[in-house]
Chain A
Amino acid sequence: MARWSLTVNGKQQEFEAESDMPLLWVLRDLLGLTGTKFGCGVGACGACNVHLDGELVPSCTVPVSAVGGRKIVTIEGLSDKTDHPVQKAWLEEKVSQCGYCQPGQIMAAVTLLENNPHPSDAEIDAAMARTLCRCGAYPRIRKAIHRAAKSESL
């Protein structure tokens, strides 16, 4: 058991964990940040997507020892008032059904738009391919990404 210090949503967090504990379970079970979801445990569904220094990663595949000094942002840290342009676009397009995958979808969409402010449909498909939605909200996710791309505040 080792002691770790990570920056999560701008806050320094200290805790003890085995070095192979995936960031997902650190966030959920040690730090109480349950907005990041468990879906598959093998990086195949994107429900656990978070940002590491702005890079999109499925947190179930990142051992705590591999985080290093990179800053972690989870869905809870994306905005103070659920007013990130991507969240606002999601609300406008009425995207969510059961909602379980939406934190992962939103984190993926934010990374996409930061790298490519005006993605085509094909670019959206490629960027979102590893984030699954069993309710089938995909048509609205795509629309919401286009809507967020058009918003000036992004």
Chain B
Amino acid sequence: MSIVYNPDRRNFLTTTAAAGAGLVLAFSMTSCVRSVPPGGRESSGFRPSGWLRITSDNHITVFVAEAEMGQGVHTSLAMLIAEELEVDFSMIEVEQAPVDNAVYGWQYTGGSTSVRDGWERFRQAGAVAREMLIAAAARAWQVPVAECRAEQGGVVHAASERRASYGELATAAAGMPVPQSIKLKERGDFRLIGKSLPRVDAVDALNGSIVYGADVKLPNLLTATIVHCPVFGGKARKIGSEKALAVPGVHKVVEIDAGVAVVADHFWAAKKGADVLDIQWDFGPHADISSESIQQLFTEQADGYTGVEQEISTALANAAQRIEAEYHLPYQAHATLEPMCCTVHIHDGVCEVWVPSQNPSSAQVVAARFSMSRVEYLAQRVKGKLLGRSLESVRVHNMPLGGGFGRRLESDYVVEAVQIAKAVDAPVKLIWSREQDIQHDFYRPASLHRLTAGLDEQGMPVAWHQLAVGVADYGPPYYKIPTSGGSTIEVDTGVPTGPWRSVSLSWNAFVIEGFIDELASLAGKDPVAYRLDLLKIPRLKAVVEMAAEKAGWGGSLPAGHYQGIAAQPGFGSYVAQVVELSVDKNKGIRIHRIVCVIDCGQVVNPDMVVSQMEGGIIFGLTATVTSAITIRNGRVEQSNFYDFPILRMGETPPIDVYIMPSEEPPGGVGEPGVPPIAPAVVNALYATTKVRIRKLPVRAEDLFS
């Protein structure tokens, strides 16, 4: 069950065997029972794998390597172990696993993969432990293993009415041979999987006791904040730091690769110091770029493109009718409510890092590379091998994340904190201002898409092509179109880009589901019926049907209300959403109801699925109707929540989420709620106004022009 991280893509590749129907799994024990993490051997008790520890005083701890960023992964993965281990969930304590690639593989939380990857691994980890505990009890009682069973945190032998807690058995269990095959529970026997158990951090979230990355406290801790060149790719040429150093509480001004940091007793002094830095910037090569110039670049690239495959261009040319449309999406910021932050202490030959990260293994690697002292650097340079610090001497504590959404897959702020820490003789906590956070993100890329369809006499598509400019992916082909495909033109605009909740589907769903809606209306067909005729994937068809039914599609609606639909497969799940809205020239767009249906296979915790759908829809709505990142003079025009507004409570429509019952293996849920909402909204706007919106976010002038 080794996990191979391919840094060129954001997916884990797992070699886990798929669950068989019989549920008797033979698997390599060397992969399930990985080496025990540091510290594990010293503590008494039973540590059958990196994911589980049972101490003799009956503390049962599940170690989750995935990052908790609101998706509930500390709860859902622990539920999987508890299910097979046969313990009450209230007995389980969950800890963030240490960053240790040897035990956990490359630690990375993204792509809605946690439950998909953990579905077998965590149940197996629980089952292996259970069998070893049972074996320990059978040996102690001198009874056949088959007469013993695990129940509520202990092993019982019914005939002799004996019971021992897991704690009592822990030490003996550690000496039992690891079983060579394990029978996982049948679905009908699940006690926990499928139940909406409360999250393990539910109470701590209500009283301020969760220690997020920004909340780290250490003796003699200093706080730093950073100013980056406002223009992407620029550098400080001359730094006037006198005024900053005169601010009471400011210790030092530090120039690092990414910008200029002010180190102080606390954040307020650091921020005041940063505000009075007098920096002359070398703006570099991107000082003139703007959203308009990027748009023009995209248009030129699209105009000059001649690479459509011969088969597709022939099919388009031979079609009875040819339709073209151009779609546009802007840059988007992640705007996690907790700004970027990282604490570093270099001491006693160790670089210690406290960081809320979706990619703590990357944090470890960059800390190893950038935390070397000059002496260490020179020593390695003499030897001819610049290896950086050893990974073992970099201790990364992954802290709870105040939001991730893809932003915290990057480790730029880790490099910065390490470089600042090298310049001071104390632990340093770097916290970005909100302005820096909005203006120095890795943005969801802006893109332009040219869609071309060839239709037959009945208006059904026979050929389809998507030219995607500015991004690396065009849409997946989930409609039955005889000849279809796409091309991409990646463009280096100078604006840093990165994964943003739902990644390529955040643009491709908008483009495909918008354009297919255009084809439906051209054919004079109902958008749901048209999709059902063309959809290839039965599970996607089923969610479309269910969403239409739950939303009362085609039924009578209040006067002025109209509906739009969109669907999208992705991350192992299938989602359809129906938006019901009305438009008033003076009051704007009012969304009355959103119906969302997800088929995410076997559900571990239904309420958490619902909450991820609600959250994904609201995240997607912000990008649909309220916000965008725009560029002028090489810099981001927005800087805080007053000009990059995120959806507020009063702007949030009622959302009804339905989960399709399924026994398929689990699909992802963190991201699939996002993609359909933008196209469902613009499709509903078309139904209402007959104006086709092909550019996000939706602006009144586009609707009422």
Known contacts A41-B271, A132-B641; decide if A98 and B337 are in contact (CB<8 Å).
yes
Which of A18, A36, A44, A134 makes the CB contact (< 8 A) with B403? A134
Query: Which of chain B's residues has its CB closest to A39's CB?
Result: B337
Does any Cβ of A come within 8 Å of B335's Cβ? yes
A94: B residues at CB distance < 8 A: 196, 198-199, 202, 607, 611
A126 touches B650 (CB 8 A): yes
A42 touches B618 (CB 8 A): no
Which of A32, A39, A129, A141 makes the CB contact (< 8 A) with B338? A39
Interface centre among A36, A41, A99 (most CB of B within 10 A): A99
Which of A78, A128, A138 makes the CB contact (< 8 A) with B618? A138
Instruction: Please report which residues of chain B, range 359-416, place their CB below 8 angstroms from some CB of chain A when the two chains form the complex.
Output: 400-405
B205 touches A136 (CB 8 A): no
A40-51 vs B, Cβ < 8 Å mask (1 yes, 0 no):
111011010000
A102 touches B267 (CB 8 A): no
B640 touches A42 (CB 8 A): yes
Query: Which of chain A's residues has its CB closest to B209's CB?
Result: A35
B70: A residues at CB distance < 8 A: 96-99, 135
Query: Which of chain B's residues has its CB closest to A91's CB?
Result: B202
Query: Which of chain B's residues has its CB closest to A129's CB?
Result: B648
Does any Cβ of A come within 8 Å of B552's Cβ? no
A149: B residues at CB distance < 8 A: none
Known contacts A41-B434, A98-B403; decide if A34 and B208 are in contact (CB<8 Å).
yes
A66: B residues at CB distance < 8 A: none
Known contacts A1-B248, A96-B199; decide if A47 and B611 are in contact (CB<8 Å).
no
The distance in angstroms between the C-alpha atoms of A126 and B69, with both chains bound, is 28
Classify the interface of chain A: helix, strand, loop or mixed.
loop
The distance in angstroms between the C-alpha atoms of A41 and B201, with both chains bound, is 27
Known contacts A29-B268, A82-B206, A94-B607; decide if A139 and B337 are in contact (CB<8 Å).
no
Which of B196, B208, B267, B339 makes the CB contact (< 8 A) with A36? B208
A140 touches B208 (CB 8 A): no
B200-216 vs A, Cβ < 8 Å mask (1 yes, 0 no):
01111111111110110
B210 to chain A, nearest CB (A): 6
Does any Cβ of A come within 8 Å of B704's Cβ? no
Count contacts between A and B, CB distance < 8 Å.
184
B222-257 vs A, Cβ < 8 Å mask (1 yes, 0 no):
010000000000000000000000001100000000
B302-335 vs A, Cβ < 8 Å mask (1 yes, 0 no):
0000000000000000000000000000000001
Does any Cβ of B come within 8 Å of A137's Cβ? yes
B208 touches A76 (CB 8 A): yes
The distance in angstroms between the C-alpha atoms of A21 and B215, with both chains bound, is 18
B402 touches A40 (CB 8 A): no
Does any Cβ of A come within 8 Å of B217's Cβ? yes
Instruction: Please report which residues of chain A, range 26-62, place their CB below 8 angstroms from some CB of chain B when the two chains form the complex.
Output: 28-30, 32-42, 44-45, 47
A29 touches B223 (CB 8 A): yes
Does any Cβ of A come within 8 Å of B647's Cβ? yes
B215 touches A34 (CB 8 A): yes
Binding site for A on B (CB under 8 A): 68-72, 196, 198-199, 201-212, 214-215, 217, 223, 248-249, 265-269, 271, 335-339, 400-405, 431, 433-434, 607, 611, 614-619, 640-642, 646-650, 652, 654-655
Q: Give me 24 A-to-B residue pairs in the complex whose CB atoms sit less than 8 angstroms apart, sorted by A's number.
A: A18-B249, A29-B266, A36-B208, A38-B339, A42-B642, A45-B641, A75-B207, A82-B207, A87-B206, A87-B207, A96-B70, A98-B70, A98-B404, A99-B402, A100-B212, A100-B402, A124-B649, A126-B650, A128-B649, A136-B619, A136-B652, A137-B614, A138-B649, A140-B611
